[in-house]
Amino acid sequence: MKERFIMILIFVFAFILLVDIYSFKGIKLLASGLESPIFKNAIYVVYWIIPISIISFLLYFRTLQPFERDPRIFRNFFLLAGLFLLFYVPKLVFIIFHLTEDIFHIGKWIISKFSKSTEINTISNVQGISRAKFLSQLGLVLAAIPFTSILYGMIKGRFNFRITHEKLSFPNLPDAFNGFKIVQISDIHIGSFLGHENQVKKAIELVNEQDPDLLLFTGDLVNNFTEELNGWVPILSNFRAKYGKFSILGNHDYGDYFEWKNDAEKVQNLDNLKKAHEDIGFRLLLNESEPIEINNSKIGLIGVENWGLPPFPQYGNLKEAMNGSSELPFKILMTHDPSHWDAEVINKTGIDLTLSGHTHGMQFGIEIGNVKWSPIKYKYPRWAGLYKENNQYLYVNRGLGYIGFPSRIGMPPEITVIELKKT
């Protein structure tokens, strides 16, 4: 893990160096018309403060390898990742326009070697300087688009909780469950919310306002370790539901992405996390089923441990989890990774509704009318929202929290309300 982190640092440093040196060339061109040398130098100083600060913080994080079990370290690392994207995605946009002019100049220089007209070359040079400034100015303006989008996503987008509603009809739903309301949340990643307790309380209030009959949480309570829950249990205990609160584990809950001192420490961490689910008031389903009963009618709630495509581990055992629910007329499955639905559920089981999360909608995408797109779709075809095959449904929640990139752009955090109807 240490060697991998060093290689990543080398790559990032090289990237920063190349991008900043080249984009600074464009900044100098744009600042060349400024009359005040003080103002011009101030621009240069501010420009270089950003890469120097980012490199300094990266070197600081290098000294913390292996990471300590302190949620603040990861919170700060995610913030650094956000700042990196905030400044370097716009710089890449800016570079594209500046590079276009340089390519033109190279081509013009090659052509000039075969031209004997000094006058034409002189005129072209004068026009080239004007064009270069125009393209750099255009690049600067267009670079403001990703800058403002990422900044908005960091300041507000990641906390702009959206409630989505679905009404699903089933002929085999018991009459007692007609109008039964399920609220699904997923991917809380509570360590990322450190310092934003009021935002989590807001999300809990929104969930409770939906008056759920059943609250289902489909995994990833933490990013890496149980210490992230320190101080959060009393807050998260405020979720309410008439007929119970149930949860499963996600890929991040097992601590597979953390460098533990030994296997025993990792096992203890997972045991502590399972206990935390209980303390919060969730019934954690570990490859098992639980009947939900109303007026002597029952439906089956099935929960599997994480089942994912490689490199994600497969702890889930659907066959084992379905023991005790096979005779029930209606079944709901909670499985963290939506790829599990295609692999083991549709056309292979009698599960009516599957609820998943995991993808976060990549925390970036476009959803306007019938247009729904995110880069994550190229890895997970079932990446957000409702899917149907024959009479079986899958709903993929976009996640309540965030990880890595502390922002959401066009993909707000989601609270899903599903109302079951009898046809």
What pLDDT is stored for residue 255 in this prediction? 95
Domains of the chain: 2-155 (no CATH), 162-422 (3.60.21.10)
The side-by-side arrangement of strands in the sheet containing 353-356 is 288-294, 297-303, 331-334, 353-356, 392-396, 385-389
Task: List, as one string, the DSSP characters of 11-55.
Answer: HHHHHHHHHHHHHHHHHHHHHTT-S-HHHHHHHHHHHHHHHHHHH
In the chain, what is the straight-line distance between the N-terminal and C-terminal CA atoms, in Å?
54
For residue 125, the model assigns a pLDDT of 46
For residue range 223-265, what is the model confidence (pLDDT) as tens digits? 999 999 999 999 999 999 999 999 999 999 999 999 898 999 9
Q: Which residues pair with 307 in a beta bridge?
A: 314
Mapping DSSP to helix (H, G, I), strand (E, B) and coil, where does residue 204 land?
helix
pTM of the entire predicted model: 0.91
The confidence score (pLDDT) of residue 126 equals 44
Q: Write out residues in the chain with pLDDT < 50, as ranges.
A: 118-128
Share of the chain above pLDDT 90, in %: 77
pLDDT at 192: 96
Compute the distance between CA of residue 302 and CA of residue 350 in angstroms, rounded to an integer.
Answer: 12
**Residue 67 per-residue DSSP state:** P
- Residue 244, phi then psi, degrees to nearest 5: 125, 160
* CA 77/CA 178 separation, integer angstroms: 47
Positive or negative, the CA dihedral 335, 341, 344, 349 is positive
| pLDDT in the model for residue 84 | 95
Q: In whole angstroms, what is the distance from residue 253 CA to residue 273 CA?
A: 8
ω before 66 within 30° of 0 (cis)?
yes
